[in-house]
Structure 1
């Protein structure tokens, strides 16, 4: 369960961080899918004869077709794949005189040198506002020509978005490292608003980006050889200080998967007219395990995501923050408690999420901290093994709507908020107490309630007052002997996950107390003794999704499952002895079947030859042990 929680939280964080990498348009996102998840899409050709378009699936062309005329009239080419021997060559881009919008160039390892790449004439394509350069992953040997090739791919100065993926050179080209155009003194690429540098594993130094006046979003990932981010990153120093605003428009910055990054220094002390990161709203640092230091001047920072790095880095970054509204902390080593100034200086904090901080003992060493967080709406803590207590005073969190504590096995002291009416809408709790520390009857606004991994819990209070509840989860409570009272009053309940109770029980608790038929999603968790499903689930005629897990002694699913004619999705997991499915007729309405860790059933569902295959062959979408068998 703990691993699943960490995975879920990590996915959520990664998803959130991905959303921060804003691109010029939805199409630009397609540039980032090739090398280890960042690639280029197939070509989209506009104003060309479709019959003369090369075979883009094989990256080959019909040698009998004269496509030079096609190229001259193309206006949109989202992806150009450089051929090796056959296929389009880089010089053919030079004839795309009308090209505009987004252009991704893929398989640049097939370009010989600078002179060849210059024939693409990108510097002349003023209407191309977004460029993606991609070298294939997994290459071996010397990549010295990557530097020459990228040097020759200098874009037009009106470029707005630049993505570089898989570049194998040790340094970036001069057109990225030079602040001004030697021809006229103008600032190069002053229109750039989005930069992504990904998988440039041999580069040791980042380009100077602090002077770009319009840069809003910067994403740097998997640059393994970068050990320090310093003055070269900011630029324009005069006599020991800087006299300009550096990164004047930057709003989102992400550093991720940089295993050798040790230090990220502050810009030098500013002069009276200088400043740095004045507009930065979102900062994400992920998987920089060696990073020991970082800047502390982020005057406008609202969202901070920091994960898998050292506590000193987090403490330095947070030391002067005063504008945070959202904080996510994950996998910070040697972090025993959160810095005191973080609580005192950020009264506008609305969301706090902490996960997998294995050395965390308490949120604060000085007791009550909730008084500083009157705006807090969401608090989530998960997988913090040493966390022993939460501070008292949670009754002051009058704005709290979401409260989740999961997989904190040593949490012995839980703040009591009994008799306090909080505006909670989501509550998920894991604790070691015999009685829940929260007065559920007072949480009348709850729409989602989760009670998980409470090994000593012996009872759950009556739920009849929770009229707004639409989702209820009660799982892995090994001393529970039955269901709570009041379930028949939950007329809005749509989703129910239940089970994993006392293993002395020979049968699943009766669900007859749930009288209404509004339930749409049902997850049943069994235990070692159980050899059958509770037959009263037949009353849930509105069910569309049914999940059955950990019924270890059950060998066959009952034929009466066919009575649940509304069920479209069936999920079977961790049923070690399950071998037999109901008839095809009983499963005729299914559109999705997933089977995980049911070894005997897996063998009997082999496509085309398994004993159970004919029963499920009609189902449009089938997954078995992670493999997409059909659909």
Structure 2
């Protein structure tokens, strides 16, 4: 939003200034989406020409009563206003309103007589009330509804004939429908099935969601084959239903999610629609999810006329079974298109996995270990989690050999696991395993064998307590290595003269006993990203970084209090981004860093969670920072009072400057920020904020030329997200 008298953009944090609104009386479109704590004044009603008002994803708590005077308003977008609990009661006056977006709000009641909005086409949410003027029949008067709607609080429909008056069956342009009862209500109404029956939508529907339906069975229209356009069905927390509706004859169904059917014991032939089958059951289904089925014991197979078991789910690609603790017996056998199978918290299931020649990804958590003994032949990604009593993985013989397809193995939460599968040690060829992730497996001894020489990615986190030294050179193809919270790990080792030519990313995090990189330096000519964080005993970075790490672009040094200086020769000349956080000794020697030589350095971040770590009153010192810096972030300077004019004068490339949590900061540089700057962000700097918000005095003049200024009074950000770099470099090998 640009002010007439100043060529700038200003983020508003409290309310839209009244004097600004006075200049905009003939405005037709007003969009304040994602502004922080915006409030609309009562004078908004003077915008007689306004047709489009968007305050979505703001902190707005109320709409002024005068909003109902905007008689030309056609679109009102309130999506994501989670603090908004009600609409003005005279909304019915907005007779030209076509689109009302209120999904993601906390609105608990609709204004009276919404049915009078005859032009309304979009109504994303309707909350059913008990009294006349608030009841569900108001929807029947809105004959032009289309798109998406959520109808909630259906427990307030006492008379099922009122549900018929909603006329959903006539609304052929309504595509996505959610029908929702109040989960906290807990009352089972004898008419609930009749209410749902009378809410039958038009057969043009594409998405159907039913939540907290309390009756014991579904009306026949749910799953009827005449709904030939339905692609998504989600049935959520229908806790009293003892059987599933017949959904197999929906010809276009792609995504089916069934959650929280506490009374279902058997999924049987009715689920497939076998009583009146005219097509292959679930012929188009690609994703099937069963979750939180506490009593489910048996999944009956499909038997077509004169056929053996099989034939259903010919297109199924993803199958998820989660929290089905009593499920036993067999799963569907013939799933020719299945590529992804996840089974979580199904302790009783001992059957062999489906016959699925296309399966590539298998995830098992807290299941019977019998499922590990016969794996799909073309499996590429295997994840096993939470097998509490296993000391070794009972994988099929040969699964790790070079003629198998497993490329990624992820192992989580094995408290007593001692060893990993080794494959055929007598073979001269390595396994196909390329990525290995081990998390929370403290007792595992990491195998230093040639069978793992094909690894390109390795994560070891809170695991491998016996591991003290990690020999990098026995993994010649390793590209990504992350070692985190390995309490006994002390050092990385590399044979003299060995070059780690494939290594691209290296992170050592929260390893409290890590003390040393390889003696003589780490020769990794293609390493682009290096992070050392929370390594309290580490006192130096790798030697000869400037020559041995010529491709390094991203360097993060976080909470390493014993590091005093950069290595002799300085940092690599191609460094693009440097973050230093809570490294008191290193910061103390900052004038010896020699950053001026790094003309590729574009991003600099000094982030402190210890407010006394960087104990300065003025920043930055003259010639501390290189002229090439484009993005500069400073956070947690507890005693900082002024930004140094001499330090900023030569930052001739600076475009983005962020200051956060500097409570004593009052003064901007005397001669202002560099003219190149395009955005300033100020968060939780109360002393400076007070001066700037007056929009006068030298502090404002020194910043007013900046095109974009964002001021946030409180720090609500997540520490993990305070500094981020976009682009291809921020990735992990498992993404």
> Shared fold (TM-score greater than 0.5)?
yes
2:341–2:363: 8 Å Cα contact kept in structure 1?
yes
> Separation in 2 of the partners of 1:134 and 1:371?
52
Query: Does residue 451 of the first structure (1) align with residue 488 of the second (2)?
Result: no
1:435–1:457: 8 Å Cα contact kept in structure 2?
yes
TM-aligned CA distance change 1:105 to 1:555, over 3 Å? farther
- Corresponding residue of 1:129: 175
1:348–1:373: 8 Å Cα contact kept in structure 2?
no
> Separation in 2 of the partners of 1:210 and 1:407?
41
TM-aligned CA distance change 1:428 to 1:533, over 3 Å? same
1:454–1:476: 8 Å Cα contact kept in structure 2?
yes
Query: Does residue 51 of the first structure (1) align with residue 81 of the second (2)?
Result: no
TM-aligned CA distance change 1:628 to 1:64, over 3 Å? farther
- Corresponding residue of 2:391: 361
> Separation in 2 of the partners of 1:362 and 1:616?
60
- Corresponding residue of 1:65: 93
Alignment of 1:35-434 (within 5 A): 51=73, 57=84, 58-62=86-90, 65=93, 67=95, 71-82=117-128, 85=131, 89-139=135-185, 141-142=187-188, 146-176=192-222, 179=224, 187-237=225-275, 245-258=280-293, 260-267=294-301, 269-273=303-307, 275-300=311-336, 301-310=338-347, 312-313=348-349, 315-316=350-351, 318=353, 320-332=355-367, 334-335=368-369, 338-342=371-375, 346-364=376-394, 367-371=397-401, 374-393=404-423, 396=429, 399-412=432-445, 414=447, 416-417=449-450, 422=454, 424-429=455-460, 430-433=463-466
> Separation in 1 of the partners of 2:479 and 2:576?
19
The partner residue of 2:530 within 462, 476, 496 is: 496
> Separation in 2 of the partners of 1:568 and 1:201?
54
**1:73, distance to aligned residue in structure 2 (A):** 3.4
Alignment of 1:456-467 (within 5 A): 456-462=488-494, 465-467=499-501
- Corresponding residue of 1:4: none
> Separation in 2 of the partners of 1:228 and 1:421?
48
Query: Does residue 514 of the first structure (1) align with residue 545 of the second (2)?
Result: yes
**1:303, distance to aligned residue in structure 2 (A):** 0.6
1:214–1:249: 8 Å Cα contact kept in structure 2?
yes
**1:146, distance to aligned residue in structure 2 (A):** 4.2
**1:203, distance to aligned residue in structure 2 (A):** 3.0
- Deviates most, 72-81 or 374-383: 72-81
Give secondary structure in 2 for the equivalent of 1:164. Answer: strand
- Deviates most, 299-308 or 507-516: 507-516
- Count the aligned residue pairs: 540
CA deviation vs aligned residue, 1:274-294 (integer Å, no higher than 9, x gap): 722222111011233343345
TM-aligned CA distance change 1:308 to 1:493, over 3 Å? same
**1:416, distance to aligned residue in structure 2 (A):** 0.8
**1:455, distance to aligned residue in structure 2 (A):** 4.8
- Corresponding residue of 1:601: none
- Corresponding residue of 1:8: none
Alignment of 1:522-537 (within 5 A): 522-526=556-560, 530=561, 534-536=564-566
**1:246, distance to aligned residue in structure 2 (A):** 2.1
CA deviation vs aligned residue, 1:293-329 (integer Å, no higher than 9, x gap): 452424222110111221x42x425164443111112
**1:90, distance to aligned residue in structure 2 (A):** 2.6
**1:250, distance to aligned residue in structure 2 (A):** 1.5
> Separation in 2 of the partners of 1:616 and 1:393?
63
TM-aligned CA distance change 1:237 to 1:152, over 3 Å? closer
CA deviation vs aligned residue, 1:185-241 (integer Å, no higher than 9, x gap): xx4323322101123333332211122222221012233443443333223249xxx
Larger RCO, structures 1/2 (Cα 8 Å, 6+ apart) = 1
1:416–1:438: 8 Å Cα contact kept in structure 2?
no
- Corresponding residue of 2:704: none
Query: TM-score, normalised to structure 2's length?
Result: 0.62
CA RMSD in angstroms comes to: 4.6
1:144–1:168: 8 Å Cα contact kept in structure 2?
no
Give 5+ residue unaligned stretches, structure 1: 1-41, 43-47, 180-186, 596-603
- Corresponding residue of 1:37: none
